[in-house]
Amino acid sequence: MAHRYIKRILEARVYDVAVETPLDEARGLTERLKNRVLLKREDLQPVFSFKIRGAYNKMRQLTATERANGVIAASAGNHAQGLAMAARHLGVKATIIMPKTTPELKVNNVRRLGGKVVLHGDTFDEASAHALKLVAEKGMTYVHPFDDPDVIAGQGTVAMEILRQESGPIDAIFVPVGGGGLIAGIAAYVKYLRPETKVIGVESEDSACLAAAIKANKRVTLSQVGIFADGVAVAQIGKNTFEICRDYVDEVITITTDEICAAIKDIYDDTRSICEPAGALGVAGLKKYVEREKCEAKTLIAIDSGANVNFDRLRHIAERSELGEKREAIIAAKIPEKPGSFKKFCMALGKRNITEFNYRYSDDTLAVVFAGIQIKPNNDGKEELLEELREHLEEVVDLTDDETAKLHVRYMVGGHAPESVSNEVVYRFEFPERPGALMKFLSTLGGRWNISMFHYRNHGAAYGRVLVGMQVPEAERDQVKEFLHEIGYNFWEETNNPAYKLFLG
């Protein structure tokens, strides 16, 4: 099977529009993982994705009549951009059917490159069905994003470059998998020339169509597909791609959303570039492989397959990256509802950095707090943290792996104060975001007046931002401001703030 693709790959016409991308050492990952980690930088292509290779190679094979009739494709974005650029270079009209869930960045880029965009359906498979319907109606040539021998051969040029760029032994190559075009091309070429090198597919756990097909030993269709990693959101592996993958892919690793986010951060730390979620799968799989195998001094390559990510998605990625790297524990704890309890809670944490702290008074006996706490990578410090907290506190619950807590509850802790909360005043604070600043703040404030509400989240800014409610008798209101001036942090009273009155007061 592989030998049939070698000639196609060697003769693939991709460099009229594509570039040979570098194979860069990821120095931070190399040092941390104790293996030589190399990144194949397909995010540096003109359309910020490897897809330009397969799309252009396929376009070069079309007859004059086929080009005159125009081309059509379904794509979640990267193939669309590659095809639009290839079509513009060759003077061919291109229509792209894109899922309605496609990031706006990719839609706009396709239009900028001259492609006609039609938004249809919520997944690639729904878009693909509509594209095939238009093929039958209008006679255009369908350029498949992955399940076509010429497309596979175009993507295989990635492997051709890797083996030319790294002449020494390569222990494993980690490849993002959606429909399988990239990994099929890489596996066919690598296994023909260097059969000892492992080719490992990496899939998002909510779109793992190749893993499901290998397990069943036949192509299967997933009942639903997650779209966080939209570039690999495919419900069924391709027919041509599966024939290659079944014989030449060594294994498939599945990855969580949090692990993808952590890998995006790893790539940024080493390259100062931001890849898209699908583009980070290779690094996420590589890290999981090293942790499982406990290997050292190996040469491992991850394909950084694309950088087409909407800017507004970075907020979510940053939020989840610490969890994906297992550097943050999320816990809920019960503490006595009385002055000084916050200080006791902080003492139980020791010198650990608090990343989040949420609390709202509920009754006069026990307080329930929601907290994020920094720990050492890979859970090394979580059990120790939980053990220490349980020695000092009434009840501690580990929520680190609780999706509801991470996605929703952390933003909903609060609500209106019960009637028993009287004399509540509210202050907003800014303080220098440095180790110990929040601890000092809590320790200083915690013993004077009862804290009835508290919200803090570390956003990586220069200043920490805290919203605090305290029960202060009317006669002591002036003392509060004097006390707060002594702490030395910027503060504003928000007791009459309309948002507070509507939702929290």
Domain ranges of the chain: 3-49+149-308, 52-142, 326-503
68-72, 120-124, 273-277: least confidently modelled range: 120-124
Q: 90 CB contacts (<8 Å, ≥6 apart)?
A: 59, 60, 67
Known catalytic residues are: 51, 305
Q: Tell which CATH classification among 3.40.50.1100, 3.30.2130.10, 3.30.420.40, 3.30.497.10 matches the domain 3-49+149-308.
A: 3.40.50.1100
55-59, 152-156, 418-422: least confidently modelled range: 418-422
Higher pLDDT, 318 or 276: 276
What is the full DSSP assignment across 3-23? HHHHHHHHT---TTT--PPPE
**Residues 341-345: what's their mean pLDDT?**
74
Residue 211 has pLDDT above 90, yes or no: yes
**Residues 244-263: what's their mean pLDDT?**
95
Residue 52 has pLDDT above 90, yes or no: yes
Token pair recorded at residue 200 = 């490992």
Kindly report the length of the chain.
505
Contacts by 437-445, CB closer than 8 A, 24 or more apart: 437/464, 438/354, 438/357, 438/464, 438/466, 439/346, 439/349, 439/354, 441/466, 441/487, 441/489, 442/342, 442/343, 442/345, 442/346, 442/357, 443/342, 443/343, 443/346, 444/487, 445/342, 445/470, 445/487
Using 50, 70 and 90 to split pLDDT, how confident is the model at 207?
very high
pLDDT at 354: 80
Q: Is 200 helix (H, G, I), strand (E, B) or coil?
A: strand
Q: Of 258-262, 289-293, 328-332, 436-440, which has the strongest mean pLDDT?
A: 289-293
83-97, 130-144, 172-186, 425-439: least confidently modelled range: 425-439
Q: Which fold has domain 52-142?
A: Rossmann fold (3.40.50)
Residue 129 has pLDDT above 80, yes or no: yes
Token pair recorded at residue 52 = 């330009």
17-21, 107-111, 185-189: least confidently modelled range: 107-111
Q: What is the pLDDT of residues 92-101, one digit of tens each?
A: 999 999 888 7
Residue 377 has pLDDT above 70, yes or no: no
pLDDT at 91: 95
DSSP 416: P
Give yes or no on whether 3-49+149-308 and 52-142 have one common fold. yes
52-56, 86-90, 301-305, 335-339: least confidently modelled range: 335-339
Superfamily of structural domain 326-503: Biosynthetic Threonine Deaminase; Domain 3 (3.40.1020.10)
Residue 240 has pLDDT above 90, yes or no: yes
Q: Of 232-241, 420-429, 457-466, which has the strongest mean pLDDT?
A: 232-241
**H-helix or E-strand spanning residue 412:** helix 410-412
24-33, 139-148, 263-272, 346-355: least confidently modelled range: 346-355
Token pair recorded at residue 54 = 């397969």
Beta strands in 244-353 (DSSP E): 251-255, 299-304, 328-336
Q: What is the pLDDT of residues 254-310, one digit of tens each?
A: 999 989 999 999 999 999 999 999 999 999 999 999 999 999 999 999 999 999 888
What is the full DSSP assignment across 141-176? EE--SSSSHHHHHHHHHHHHHHHHH--S---EEEEE
Residue found under tokens 């193939």: 79
